[in-house]
């Protein structure tokens, strides 16, 4: 079983130095260098090709690190039955040889303990690892979750078919001049696989595969010019933060974020894990990566948004211009109307929903309100008294508008319509949802599916805009809110929010008092002027991130200046109810669907701190 066998082959990527010492070449300090990784190269012999109807007859393994063989593990295994004749011919292992050998129940625990903490390597790894996993499962053992490297896949990356006829172990061992010839015996094959592994490392080293993280993706081809740029990740911190890829003129090409490790996230751009064509193009242009370490994951996400808005990187697709995001406004004139605007202004008589991702989405929300309520759709300013010579429009003639332009509706009656619109926008969209859902059902019943889909899209756009405004307005009015959340290490993640903008954040250890840190944040954090609600003082997506963080389980509001609450019958509450109507799926022509709205019930009470 385990034994010591000390050899000193030259490690792949090393050169022999005078005096016999080895000198490491081309390895940087990012990640775990292959020379520091402990590999256990394993080979099995079995009675067949599938774990379901076959058993292990021999285990051979070699433990290596940095080109040095640290030890070997070898044993025959009693399979609990006879060895098939063709297996005896292939391996030379007979049923008689296995008499008195230990069963797998004794061998596997010893092997797993011996191999613990290493990377398993095998030639055609799914076969060998599959048998080991099946044996562990049959014994009720939890598989340790080894990292696994397959020399077949790695060889396909390192050796061309012009050099070897195939990727069998015997062919590769001959190509790399292995010191042991494969013989279909476990230990001999494992020793040969070690030499093949070292030969593969020597081939892949110039391609940038010098660390364990590279090895895990090396079987998938990565353009050499992309892999060589992995040095851009040198020295990046292993912490949350934001990274900026810069181009040859120092311009910002791309801004990204990592909530765990900047180093690992940036390294992924130089491996096969990155499959986006635009990102590969960006990496080819990049000349350096600037890190911005952050105290918390929330700070990283917020800084990413701010840097994208500041630099407008050409390779970022996210929203860059919050000032261009439209709002739907209910005006404050004598006969109010709906309009799409770019800015929330200080007008006490107005109501707002949004912001929307596009003008098209905002216009859909306006159409939803027009379809549900007979508010006027003309755009001109109307006086309290109709102008001489005014004439009614088509919508007034068909009863879709009260026609205040010609005195067709009294001021009080029109005010009631405006009040219903205002309530749907700012408090309770239930009447709008009920009316549009009834319209959807009618259209579906007559198989007018495209028209029903249009109504559904208008309702969905309205609900998204109303939900955003109703969630944002309360926090936008709060001058300061301090909150805390337990971290995985039992410390605290602290957040200070002012008018919906992240003003400061910090982390404290589990043994530290968070209150002095909160006091320090209050004293030193950014001053944020009050915005015009429902717009916050930040990018809309930043406020969305903050609200999502505050709504996490376990978040504690430490202090709040003012009231933080939302309408009980809000658009956010209606969204799941409206989903029945929105998800009619509007079937293929010829199909029929019947749907009823679920009862309108509060999903959560108002929250007041």
Q: Return the closest-CA partner of residue 266 out of 303, 296, 297, 241.
A: 241
CB contact at 8 A, 330 and 338: yes
Dist CA 124 CA 42 (whole Å): 11
Q: For residue 206, which phi and psi values (nearest 5 degrees)?
A: -65, -15
Dist CA 421 CA 336 (whole Å): 10
Q: Is residue 292 classed as helix, strand or coil in its secondary structure? A: strand
Single out the catalytic residue among 123, 184, 370, 539. 184
The DSSP secondary structure of 365-397, one letter per residue, reads: HHHHHHHHS------S---SSPPTT----HHHH
Is the Cα torsion angle 403, 405, 410, 416 positive or negative in sign? positive
Query: How far apart, in Å, do the first and last CA atoms of the chain sit?
Result: 67
Which CA distances in Å does 596 have to 54, 83, 371, 450, 585? 57, 66, 20, 19, 14
Sheet-wide strand order for 501-508? 501-508, 492-498, 481-486, 556-560
Q: Residues near 288 by Cβ (< 8 Å), separated by ≥ 6?
A: 232, 245, 246
Dist CA 49 CA 45 (whole Å): 10
The distance between the two most distant Cα atoms of the chain, rounded to a whole number of Å, is 115
Q: At what angle do helices 359-372 and 430-445 cross, to 10 degrees?
A: 90
Q: What is the four-CA torsion angle of 544, 545, 547, 550, rounded to 10 degrees?
A: 170
Asked if 311 is an active-site residue, the reply is no
Is residue 43 within a helix (H) or strand (E), and if so which, with residue range? Answer: strand 38-46
Q: Return the closest-CA partner of residue 216 out of 171, 262, 153.
A: 153
Q: Which amino acids are annotated catalytic? A: 184
């Amino acid at each position: 079983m385990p034994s010591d066998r000390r050899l000193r082959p030259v490690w792949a990527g090393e050169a022999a130095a005078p005096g016999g010492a080895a000198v490491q070449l081309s390895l940087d300090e990012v990640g775990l260098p292959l020379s520091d990784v402990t590999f256990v190269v394993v080979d099995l012999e079995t009675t067949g090709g599938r774990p379901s109807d076959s058993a292990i007859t021999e285990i051979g393994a070699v433990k290596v690190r940095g080109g040095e063989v640290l030890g070997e593990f070898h044993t025959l295994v009693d399979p609990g039955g006879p060895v098939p004749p063709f297996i005896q011919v292939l391996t030379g292992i007979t049923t008689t040889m296995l008499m008195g050998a230990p069963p797998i129940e004794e061998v596997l625990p010893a092997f797993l303990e011996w191999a613990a903490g290493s990377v398993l390597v095998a030639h055609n790894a799914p076969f060998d690892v599959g048998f080991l996993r099946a044996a562990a499962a049959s014994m009720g053992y939890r598989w340790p979750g080894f990292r696994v490297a397959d020399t077949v896949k790695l060889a396909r990356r390192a050796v061309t078919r012009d050099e070897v006829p195939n990727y069998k172990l015997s062919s590769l061992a001959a190509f790399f001049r292995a010191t042991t010839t494969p013989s279909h015996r476990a230990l001999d094959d494992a020793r040969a696989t070690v030499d093949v592994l070292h030969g593969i490392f020597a081939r892949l080293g110039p391609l940038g595969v010098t660390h364990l993280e590279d090895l895990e993706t090396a079987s998938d081809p990565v353009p050499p010019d992309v892999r060589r740029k992995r040095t851009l990740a040198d020295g990046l911190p292993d912490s949350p933060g934001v990274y900026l890829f810069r181009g040859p003129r120092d311009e910002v090409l791309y801004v990204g974020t990592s909530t765990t490790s900047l180093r690992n996230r940036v390294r992924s751009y130089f491996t096969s894990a990155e499959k986006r064509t635009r990102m590969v193009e960006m990496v080819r242009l990049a000349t350096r990566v600037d890190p911005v370490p952050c105290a918390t994951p929330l700070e990283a996400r917020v800084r990413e948004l701010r840097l994208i808005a500041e630099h407008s990187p050409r390779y970022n697709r996210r929203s860059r211009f919050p000032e261009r995001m439209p709002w739907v406004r209910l005006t404050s004139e004598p006969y109010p109307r709906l309009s799409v605007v770019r800015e929330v202004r200080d007008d006490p008589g107005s109501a707002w929903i949004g912001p929307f991702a596009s003008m098209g989405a905002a216009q859909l929300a306006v159409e939803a309100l027009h379809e549900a309520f007979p508010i006027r759709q003309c755009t001109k300013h109307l006086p309290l008294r109709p102008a001489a010579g005014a004439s009614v429009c088509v919508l007034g003639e068909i009863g879709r508008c009260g026609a205040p332009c010609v005195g067709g509706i009294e001021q009080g009656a029109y005010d009631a319509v405006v009040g219903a619109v205002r309530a749907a926008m700012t408090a309770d969209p239930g009447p709008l949802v009920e009316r549009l859902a009834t319209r959807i059902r009618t259209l579906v019943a007559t198989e007018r599916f495209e028209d029903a889909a249009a109504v559904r899209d208008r309702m969905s756009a309205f609900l998204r805009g109303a939900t955003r405004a109703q969630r944002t307005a309360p926090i936008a009015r709060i001058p300061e809110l301090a909150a805390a959340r337990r971290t995985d290490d039992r410390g605290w993640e602290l957040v200070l929010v002012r008018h919906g903008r992240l003003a400061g954040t910090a982390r404290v250890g589990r043994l530290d008092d968070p209150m002095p840190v909160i006091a320090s944040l209050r004293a030193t954090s950014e001053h944020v002027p009050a915005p015009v609600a429902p717009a916050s003082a930040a990018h809309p997506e930043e406020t969305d991130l903050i609200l999502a963080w505050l709504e996490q389980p376990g978040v504690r509001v430490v202090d709040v200046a003012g009231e933080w609450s939302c309408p009980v019958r809000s658009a956010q509450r209606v969204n799941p109810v409206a989903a029945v109507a929105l998800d009619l799926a509007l079937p293929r022509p010829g199909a029929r669907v019947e749907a009823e709205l679920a009862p309108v019930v509060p999903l959560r009470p108002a929250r007041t701190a």
